[in-house]
Amino acid sequence: MTMTGQQSEARPADAGTAPLHVAIIMDGNGRWAKRRGLPRTFGHREGVKALKRTVEGAAAVGVGRLTVFGFSTENWRRPAAEVSELMGLLKAYVSSDLERLAKEGVRVTILGRREGLSPDVLEVIERAERRTAENTAFHLQVAFNYGGQADIVDAARKFAKAVEEGRAKASDLDEALFERSLSTADAPPPDLIVRTSGERRLSNFLLWEGAYAELVFQDVLWPDYGPEHLKAAIAEFATRERRYGGAMVDDVLAAG
């Protein structure tokens, strides 16, 4: 992997340039498998290969940080065998790729609730975070047992506890302070959120952080995804004018 090392912290990408932080809802594994008459779990396994290809190609297309949705707080409702497969795939992915990622300067962070995860899953998560904590060339964030609403509730609880214990006052709270309690606290927000498979929903992904993200929906099923699709999403992103609630640049110039 060729790292660009360009992702200085908390710097949002400008329109017309490659995004620094891309988040992906990797959707369509089940449909990919169904179309081939295979069990859904085969789709997830192919999904891991697509993830590896995409991580591998991301830096080359100007991405410094990638956040992927691996398992949502709602995914516990899936059949036990599928849940167990997804847990196993996270462990297998980390075990097989950790050393290589670590040597390539990739920092790996897992977002989401730790409660509910089994000790063996927790062990690989903690190992991956520890082993790569000092890396700065590229940041891979895997949202696992993650829900945007749950993350906001957890942050609100942390702040409420600080108030209860007399360490903070309700009037101290503003957006900047609140987001320091989210599980994404040490990362800038996503510039671009991609969802594959043609569905057009956020499905509880990065609800706070995605406030000003550009959204790109691609018809490809996740197991078929790769760097060329990421490149196409970035090309679409580059055509967008990001206004963060302000006026269009042309209108501002015309108004003198």
Choose, by CB under 6 A, the member of 42, 222, 225, 237 that binds ligand FPP. Answer: 222
Q: Per rule CB under 6 A, is residue 67 in the interface with ligand FPP? A: no
Closest contact distance (angstroms) between CB of 55 and ligand FPP is 10
Helix ranges (H only) for 133-170 are 148-164
Crossing angle for the helix pair 80-103 and 119-132, to the nearest 10 degrees = 20
Q: Per rule CB under 6 A, is residue 30 in the interface with ligand FPP? A: yes
Q: Catalytic one among 14, 75, 172, 186?
A: 75
Q: Which amino acid is at 71?
A: F
Strands 138-146 and 106-111: parallel
Question: Which SS3 state, helix, strand or coil, does residue 13 take?
Answer: coil
Closest contact distance (angstroms) between CB of 70 and ligand FPP is 3
In the complex with ligand FPP, the residue whose CB is nearer, 68 or 182, is 68
Q: Per rule CB under 6 A, is residue 142 in the interface with ligand FPP? A: yes
Distance CA 256, CA 253 (A): 5
User: Cβ distance 69 to 205 under 8 Å?
Assistant: yes
Contacting range for ligand FPP; rule: CB under 6 A; set: 29-37, 109-117, 158-166, 169-177: 29-37
The closest of 179, 52, 56 to 70, measured between CA atoms, is 52
Residues 81-100, one symbol each (x = binds ligand FPP by CB under 6 A, - = not), give: -----x--xx--x-------
Q: Is 75 one of the catalytic residues?
A: yes
Q: Per rule CB under 6 A, is residue 26 in the interface with ligand FPP? A: yes
Choose, by CB under 6 A, the member of 20, 24, 51, 111 that binds ligand FPP. Answer: 51
| Tokens matching residue 162 | 């600080």
Task: Give per-residue burial for 115-144: e unless 16+ CB within 10 Å, then b.
Answer: eebeeebeebbeebeebbeebebbbbbbbb
Q: Which amino acid is at 248?
A: M
What amino acid positions are annotated as catalytic residues? 27, 75
Which stretches of the chain bind ligand FPP, using CB under 6 A?
26-31, 44, 47-48, 51, 70, 75, 86, 89-90, 93, 142, 197, 222
